[in-house]
Amino acid sequence: MARWAGFRRVLCGIVAVAGTLGEPASAAKRLQLVNDDFLGPFESIAGDKAPGFGVEVVRQVFAGLGQDVSFEFFPARRAWMSVVRGERDGMLATLHTEGQRFCSFPNEPLIRDRWVLFVRTADIGRLKFSSLDDLIGHTVAVRRPIPGVSEQPTVSPELWNFLREHKNMVPTNDTDASLRMLAASRVDYAVTSLVYGMSEITKLRLSGKIEPILSRGVAEQNVYVCFTKARVSPALIDAFSIALKQFKQTEKFQAIYRKYFPNGAPSDFPR
């Protein structure tokens, strides 16, 4: 813990220096981060019980830097547009492939997440995923990229190309739509982040109706905080990255980690 305190003093100095470089880098200016619930609130952002893994970690890291930060939660398109237009300081949790024209990314990720297929509970055992060939003849709901933000597929290129080749992809506007379609038997599978998918199932009151296939994942990807280039200085982003890496070594981080992932991180589950 003393080691973390020492790094915190050094990093606060970095932020103080950054503050002399201009208004966007000022530690006195509250950072406004937005998100679409990905690694966000499990219950309520205003409550102390379970505001979300990303919220708790980022709050702690910026508190150690003496940097105030706030969080707002919007639908994905609205959240990204607020970043693209320079109205907010960044996204709480996203992939490196999204928003690269508008955002800068720290070197250190928040977490490594798995993308998996979800099916209706009634279809467990009947529908499987041991290889891509298991998806032939079955429809799969996939969130489409957000126009103007990312033209990259929201799943692995291998899966994206396979589904397009076999014409069984059903594009949706967001994960909620994918899971609702799955619950209504309008598609056979839905693919999304394991963390996000499980939190959305709870929010949509679909627990017991939809389950992930954990025997094999679709892909693993790092999840990052991204910062709006026009509003946040590189010095502050670097300080955040160093502080996040150090915070991950503390018991406080481990307590947050166990709180949201009592059975291990998404990347610890079977491949």
Q: Residue for token digits 């547009």?
A: 81
Q: What distance separates the 2 farthest-apart alpha carbons in the chain? A: 62
Q: Residue for token digits 């606060």?
A: 12
State both tokens at 118. Answer: 């979800």
Whole-angstrom distance, CA of residue 27 vs CA of residue 42: 28
Domains in the chain, ordered, with CATH? 2-111+221-268 (3.40.190.10), 113-220 (3.40.190.10)
CA 236 to each of CA 26, 62, 72, 226, 228: distance values in angstroms, whole numbers, following the listed order? 8, 10, 20, 12, 12
pTM of the model as a whole: 0.76
Whole-angstrom distance, CA of residue 254 vs CA of residue 32: 26
CB contact set of 2 (below 8 Å; sequence gap of 6+): none
pLDDT in tens, the chain (271 residues): 544 445 444 444 444 434 433 344 445 589 999 987 677 665 555 556 778 889 999 999 999 999 999 999 888 888 889 998 999 999 999 888 777 888 999 999 999 888 999 999 999 999 999 999 999 999 999 988 776 666 556 788 899 999 999 999 999 988 889 999 999 999 999 999 888 888 789 889 999 999 999 999 998 889 999 999 999 999 999 999 999 999 999 999 999 988 887 766 555 544 4
- Beta strands 103-104; 111-120: pairing state: unpaired
